[in-house]
Amino acid sequence: MSDPNIEKVRDESASEAEERLQHPWLGRFLFGFAIVVSLAHLYFNTFSTLSTLWTSAMHFGFFGVLCALSVPLARPQGAGARRLVLGVDILLALAAAGCVIYLMAFEDALYARGVTFVTSDWIVSIAAVALILEFARRTTGWFIPVLCIVALTYVAWWGQYVNGVFNFPGLSWETVLFRSYIGGEGMLGSIARISWTYVFMFILFGAFLVKSGAGDFIIELARCAAGRFVGGPGFVAVFSSGLMGSVSGSSVANTVSTGVITIPLMRKAGFPARFAAGVEAAASTGGQLMPPVMGAGAFIMASYTQVSYLTIIGVAALPALLYFLSVAMFVRIEAKRSDAQHLADPNAPKIGEVLKNGWHFLLPLVVLVAALIYGFTPTYAAGIAIVSVIVSSWLSKNPMKPRDILDALVLGSRNMITTAILLITVGLIVNVVSTTGIGNTFSLMITDWAGGSLLITIFLIAVASLILGMGLPVTASYIVLGTLSAPALYNLMAHAQLLDLIAAGNLPEQARAIFMIAAPDQIQALSSPMSMAEAKALLDKVPDTFSSQLYEQALSPAFLTMSLVAAHMVIFWLSQDSNVTPPVCLTAFAAAAIAGTPQMRTGFTAWKLAKGLYIIPLLFVWSPLITGTPLEMFTVFVFALFGVYAIIAGLEGYLEHELPWWLRLLMFPIGALMLWPHGMLAIDLAGVAIFLAVLLWSGRQGRSTPRLA
């Protein structure tokens, strides 16, 4: 099946890039230039005193040149046509560099003229926008460039002809181009800053780990730790994808790197081929949920919420672990149903031997976490961790040599091309959203459509993320959707907590002053408990203009901050579903290619196995899994573990043995009971007891029922 999606474009781009690297003189130039790019970014993130605008511009220039020369404009057949395309690409690379040099040389002159464009300003601004759109087309396909063109023309032209809430009077093309490039608000704005700081440093860190041999160590460790259990190869896929994803942050790269080993292992153990591919796709999708990289999501989330990166990855850890365990539950059930066995390899090393030979690969991760806890910024922590990779490799039998270090620098730059171009381009869309206020309008529309219901709001966001994910990579989908809908979700979460306080009669005294203005006759009612309907009717009397002030007065700053994180985390998780949800499920398609299974059927299997993507985000909203104390978070995690297992048993109709229909139906309310935030420990314990009883009964049934030969 031919699928014109982003990953196909990326695969073609990768092969074209490899071809360019084999070019007699261009390959040597790209190798050297990639080293310069990595070293320059190390300088930007450590000792540089250049302005943010200039650094962002140089980031655009560096990766514009790399993209132009690595990913050809077209793929002609004849030698003459290839030379022509190469000539055009060289001119585009020079144009990208020229745009950067012009901005740095003539920025002061532009401001001296009162930000009035002359001819050269027009030419350079148009060229810069056109170049980044062309580079985005080469690396991610047509969807993002078209979306950018629609957004830019909306601001400058057709927005004034739209009726209703989306009417926008318009800005001049001069203002649009200034804000898009020279003004540092679009291409060179906050998203580009995240790209050249956090994202690049962690991608470079991952490249050094790969070149040091850590990838092989991770897979061997997973095989030793999980491969000895029944259905062990499936657990190896889950475990290795989690470990690899914690560094790579790319679901498709995760699938390709680990799937070529784990999918054949699963098939050999007796798992159906389609299930094996689905497990790898679902587990690799979780790689973008696992700290520390999270597919650049952690850095973007930290920028949006103004919450520290360390806090973001701290609250993301338990939900990510819960997701991987949910996939492992499917593996366990299918292993029992398919009678899949563990593969006893007499030549396989013991886990002690693997750790003895590769323990030093864990040191960089320890150094990274320690540096973050000590108080270093994520970029400095990543820089220190990169140095620790080199130093720790000297403890192995294959220490990194100068050539290995150079190769790691090149790999980091090459791996960053698509991400850098993507984030710089998305900055144009984010700038349009902030300029027009369309984000607030969209948030109000979601709230209106949902009728104030959190569940319906999350459903609408899930649908929007799935649609966006058909054309956008998940990071871009999260950026766009987070900008548009996070405020609505955050306000509804704060609104729900405020209703609980009013209904319980626990509204703080300072918040009651607002009700003295909006509903003075109801002040006495605030002192005693009331029904939720009465609380809602009372809160509806407060004008919307006072809502944010009321939240600040009634709710603790810590709760509001973590609620904002939870809102973004919900959107970030839901944005991952396009990887495993047909009709465009990129990670599932990559796994299907390895397993040799039908793409769409594999996509539906991966979608079933990734049910945690839809269940776990609900806990962010209605439980303290993210917003609570460490004890509350761990308590929710434990009961959610049993709850998710019960729901999966209901979906599969199987635990250690096939469940009768009535017991299968019982699993759904039992699981929901342990997931629902009712606050009654006795009910949760009762749910766990019932589930464990069913599990033990199922195990006895499995042992007493003979297998058919």
pLDDT tier for residue 8 given thresholds of 50, 70 and 90: very low
Report residue 410's pLDDT band, with 50, 70 and 90 as the boundaries: very high
In the predicted model, is pLDDT for residue 334 greater than 60?
Answer: yes
Which carries the bigger pLDDT value, residue 421 or residue 216? 421
What gap in Å lies between CA 98 and CA 100, rounded to an integer?
5
Helices 273-286 + 309-338 axis angle, to 10: 170
Half-sphere exposure of 599 (CA within 13 A, CB side): 13
First to last CA, the chain: 37
pLDDT at 558 (0 to 100): 87
Long-range contact set of residues 36-39: C-beta below 8 Å, sequence gap at least 24: 37/62, 37/63, 37/66, 37/413, 38/204, 38/409, 38/410, 38/412, 38/413, 39/409
pTM of the model: 0.82
Calculate what percentage of the chain has a pLDDT beyond 70: 92
> What's the pLDDT tens digit per position in 416-459?
898 899 889 989 998 998 888 887 787 778 878 887 788 899 98
User: Which helix H or strand E contains 125, and what residues bound it?
Assistant: helix 119-140
Burial status of residue 147 (CB atoms within 10 A of its CB: 0-12, 13-18, 19 or more): buried
Q: Phi then psi for 339, rounded to 5 degrees? A: 55, 40
Look up tokens 């956008």; give the residue.
472
Q: Which of 53, 64, 149 is nearest to 103 (CA)?
A: 53
pLDDT at 656 over 90: no
Q: Which residue has the tokens 């990559």?
A: 590
pLDDT at 5: 43
Q: Are 576 and 297 in contact (CB under 8 A)?
A: no
pLDDT in tens, 341-376: 655 555 566 777 777 778 888 888 888 888 888 888
- The pLDDT value recorded for residue 135 is 96
Which pLDDT score, from 0 to 100, does residue 268 have? Answer: 80
pLDDT of residue 705: 65
Rounded average pLDDT over 686-695: 94
654: helix, coil or strand?
strand
pLDDT computed for residue 6 by the predictor: 41
Identify the three-state secondary structure at position 658: strand
Residue 474 and residue 494: Cα distance in Å, rounded?
Answer: 27
Distance, in Å, from the CA atom of 453 to the CA atom of 493, rounded to the nearest integer, reads 10
In whole angstroms, how far apart are CA 688 and each of 561, 675, 684? 32, 11, 6
What tokens were used for 415? 């791996």
Cα 213 to Cα 18, 103, 259, 698: the distances in Å are 22, 41, 17, 43
Q: Phi, psi at residue 654, to the nearest 5°?
A: -155, 145
Q: What is the pLDDT of residues 502-539, one digit of tens each?
A: 888 888 888 877 777 766 777 777 778 888 888 888 88
Residue 51 has pLDDT above 80, yes or no: yes
Nearest to 418 by CA among 602, 619, 249, 618: 249
Which DSSP string do the residues of 466-506 spell out, in sequence order? HHHHTTS-HHHHHHHHHHHHHHHHHHHHHHHHHHHHHHHT-
- Alpha helical stretches, state H, 141-288: 143-156, 173-177, 190-194, 200-212, 214-226, 232-248, 251-269, 273-286
Q: When comparing pLDDT for 699 and 93, which is higher?
A: 93
Q: What is the pLDDT of residue 14?
A: 47
Q: Reply yes or no on whether the pLDDT at 9 is more than 50.
A: no
**Interacting residues of 471 by C-beta distance below 8 A, sequence separation 6+:** 6, 141, 143, 144, 147, 584
Closest CA to 647 of 686, 705, 694, 601: 694
Q: How far, CA to CA in Å, does 40 sit from each of 193, 280, 293?
A: 15, 36, 21
Looking at the DSSP bridge assignments, the partners of residue 150 are none
Span 51-68, mean pLDDT?
A: 96
pLDDT tens-digit series, residues 573-617: 998 887 888 776 778 888 888 888 888 889 899 999 998 999 999
**Measured at the alpha carbon of residue 464, what is the angle toward residues 458 and 470, in degrees to the nearest 5?**
135
552: number of Cβ within 10 Å: 14
* Weakest mean pLDDT among 9-18, 32-41, 491-500, 632-641: 9-18
Answer yes or no: is pLDDT of 15 > 80.
no
Please, what is the average pLDDT of the chain? 85
Query: Is the per-residue pLDDT at 708 higher than 70?
Result: no
Note the pLDDT of residue 341.
63
**Tell me, what's the pLDDT at 471?**
66
pLDDT for 3 beyond 60: no
**How distant, in Å, are the alpha carbons of 41, 105, 171, 319, 361 from that of 101?**
17, 6, 27, 45, 41
Residues in the chain: 709
